[in-house]
């Protein structure tokens, strides 16, 4: 009879033990865009280096973050991302980004021809041809 009462007690103790333990936290990558599976690494690198400083939720550049917030972009639905990518392609095509006034103070922010081509290709939704 004692065995029958010990079994439920052991089960309760076990349940309490497992409920009291915390799950290990997932290590987050230092890159704010690293969690996006849809953004290729080469795009993330360019955005981090050349775009994110002005286009993020914490930016002091109100106009920049109002036009494009990369944090919000990453959290948005695919349809909204596609529309935003279309706008990005238009701005890049016009040569409006980064703005000339910004480049006067920070010429290192200028996109190289390769970076510009990569961003335009991505934002226009074109796939690179493999040779």
Return the number of other C-beta atoms located less than 10 Å from residue 117's C-beta: 13
Tens digit of each residue's pLDDT (9 = 90 or more) over 27-54? 444 445 444 546 899 999 999 999 888 8
Q: What is the pLDDT of residue 117?
A: 94
Identify the three-state secondary structure at position 33.
coil
The whole-chain average pLDDT of the chain stands at 79
Whether the predicted pLDDT of 124 surpasses 90: no
Of 97, 93, 39, the residue nearest 70 (C-alpha):
39
Q: What is the pLDDT of residue 1?
A: 55
Q: Which residue has the higher pLDDT, 33 or 70?
A: 70
* Averaged pLDDT, 19-31: 49
Residue 64 host element (H or E): helix 62-67
Tens digit of each residue's pLDDT (9 = 90 or more) over 77-108? 988 989 999 999 999 999 888 988 889 999 99
pLDDT confidence bin for 19, thresholds 50/70/90: low
Tens digit of each residue's pLDDT (9 = 90 or more) over 100-109? 888 999 999 9
Identify the three-state secondary structure at position 107.
helix
pTM of this structure = 0.64
Residues 53, 65: Cα–Cα separation, whole Å: 9
């Amino acid at each position: 009879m004692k065995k029958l009462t010990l079994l439920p007690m052991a089960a309760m103790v076990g349940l309490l033990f497992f409920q009291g333990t915390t799950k290990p936290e997932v290590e987050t990558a230092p890159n704010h865009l690293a969690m996006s599976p849809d953004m290729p690494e080469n795009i993330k690198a360019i955005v981090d280096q050349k775009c994110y400083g002005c286009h993020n939720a914490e930016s002091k550049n109100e106009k920049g973050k109002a036009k494009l917030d990369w944090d919000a972009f990453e959290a948005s639905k695919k349809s909204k991302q596609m529309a935003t990518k279309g706008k990005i392609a238009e701005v890049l095509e016009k040569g409006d980004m980064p703005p000339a006034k910004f480049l006067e103070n920070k010429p290192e922010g200028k996109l190289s021809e390769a970076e510009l081509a990569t961003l335009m290709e991505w934002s226009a939704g074109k796939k690179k041809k493999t040779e």
